[in-house]
Amino acid sequence: MQQSRNWRELLASLISDPRQKQMLANKLGVTPLTLTRWAEGESQPRPQNLKLLAEALPQYRTELQQAFSEEFGLSNFGEPTLELEEEEIPSAFYARVLNTYATALAMLRFWSIASLILQQAVGQLDPHQVGIAITVVQCMPPSGPDGKVRSLRKRVGIGTGPWQSSVEQKAGFLGAESLAGYTVAQGRLIVIQDLTRDQGYYPARPIEGEMGCAIAPILRSSCVAGGLLVSSTRADFFTPGRSRLVQEYADLLALAFEPHEFYDLQRIDLQTMPPLEVQEEYFKHFQRRVAALMREAALNDRPLKVTEAEQLVWQQLEAELLQLPLPEFQE
């Protein structure tokens, strides 16, 4: 009985945060009320749900597996499966996204829609917590003498396994040196099942722990706003069904962008951006630069909104990074 109380108390503690509760429910394919009933001892999880619960909480997996073995006699957990539980985006979720699109304030529309989609995508693409990272990148506004899009900017991301588990804002630029840049410029889905084997002529700078990846462009007609990057800790993770879902979630993300943020593919002329560790030195004083820009604008009777000032600083940073001599950051 003591062991039973322990795992139920752990679950109760974890779901005391409504956001965490909803994310866990999404991963397990159950309702939040079901989690509450499990935690309070009002119902018993089915054996398959016990396995999924242990996989969904990798930091507690060993502890939970031992508790489930003692209480329920469940011992054959095996390795986390790569099979998808659902190969279609639920129709009810489309309704939630459309409702958010219709009701969110304009200044919050991107964050509201993107965070909603990423939470759903991470639960559906990796229900067993094998380990994936999902990042949304956006085309920077055209610049330079030719008026071309010269880089992509990371906007928001989420992950499982070794990567962050909550929706977070991201910082960093990608360009011609990246697979994301190649995908956006081509305007089509690119999948690499094993970066140690299949990279071929594709440009790529794998992140730590990344074995495979799928990148889908975010399109509207023949114009592109950015891309959806999905990295996996497992090779051969992107089955046809999972690859199709990546593109479908990218299609849905088009609702998070404004019409003027889509650019004709002919305007995409990405340049080489330095590695993230070089870029991070330039990001250290981002907020200070935003505040200084807003003060200067106010003194000149041309006040700026925070979002406007941030965008201008990102454009300044892009220009500064593009001016770095290539030998400074080439390996």
Q: Where in the chain is the domain with CATH 3.30.450.40?
A: 91-267
Owner of token pair 């993770």: 237
Instruction: Give the CATH number of domain 2-72; options: 1.10.260, 3.30.70, 1.10.1660, 1.20.1270.
Output: 1.10.260
* Residue ranges of the chain whose pLDDT lies below 70: 1-5, 74-83, 85, 199-201, 327-331
Instruction: Give the CATH number of domain 91-267; options: 3.40.50.720, 3.30.450.40, 2.10.109.10, 1.10.12.10.
Output: 3.30.450.40
In Å, what is the CA distance from 28 to each residue of 90, 152, 264, 289, 299? 15, 34, 40, 43, 54
Cβ contact 33:21 at 8 Å: no
**pLDDT (0 to 100) of residue 298:** 94
pLDDT digits (tens, 9 = 90+) for 120-138: 999 999 987 788 999 999 9
Owner of token pair 């509201």: 112
**pLDDT (0 to 100) of residue 188:** 95
**pLDDT (0 to 100) of residue 330:** 52
CA nearest 150: which of 177, 113, 170, 129? 177
**pLDDT (0 to 100) of residue 160:** 84
- Coil, strand or helix at 222: coil
In angstroms, rounded to a whole number, what is the distance separating the alpha carbons of residues 153 and 167?
Answer: 16
**pLDDT (0 to 100) of residue 78:** 56
CA end-to-end span of the chain, whole Å?
Answer: 58
Beta bridge partners of residue 212, listed in sequence order = 232
**pLDDT (0 to 100) of residue 2:** 41
**pLDDT (0 to 100) of residue 84:** 72
Structure tokens that stand for 157 in this block: 């991301």
Beta bridge partners of residue 143, listed in sequence order = 148
In angstroms, rounded to a whole number, what is the distance separating the alpha carbons of residues 310 and 266?
Answer: 27
**pLDDT (0 to 100) of residue 74:** 66
In Å, what is the CA distance from 312 to each residue of 145, 154, 318? 18, 16, 10
One-letter amino acid for residue 234 of the chain: R
